[in-house]
């Protein structure tokens, strides 16, 4: 399949860039905690808030 040339004008996918940086830091031995996954429509448990 041939893709349209205008796709080259789109910026890189932000979350792919973030994932690459996380992987790079982890490869350097850094402990990275990701807050990118969760359920924002579910209230935070009370034991976490206190």
CA distance 19 to 25: 10
Domain extent at residue 23: 8-36
29 lies in some domain: yes
Q: According to the model, what pLDDT value does residue 29 have?
A: 98
24 lies in some domain: yes
Q: According to the model, what pLDDT value does residue 36 have?
A: 75
pTM value surpassing 0.75: no
45 lies in some domain: no
For the chain, what is the domain count? 1
25 lies in some domain: yes
14 lies in some domain: yes
Q: According to the model, what pLDDT value does residue 48 have?
A: 87
Check pLDDT > 90 for residue 50: no
Chain segment 5-47, per-residue pLDDT in tens:
999 999 988 889 989 999 999 999 999 988 777 777 888 889 9
CA-CA distances (angstroms) from residue 5 to 9, 13, 16, 19? 8, 17, 21, 26
């Amino acid at each position: 399949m041939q893709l349209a040339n205008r796709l080259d004008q789109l910026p890189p996918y932000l979350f792919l860039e973030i994932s690459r940086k996380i992987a790079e830091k982890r490869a350097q031995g850094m402990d990275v905690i990701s807050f990118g996954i969760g359920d924002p429509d579910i209230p935070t448990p009370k034991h976490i808030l206190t």
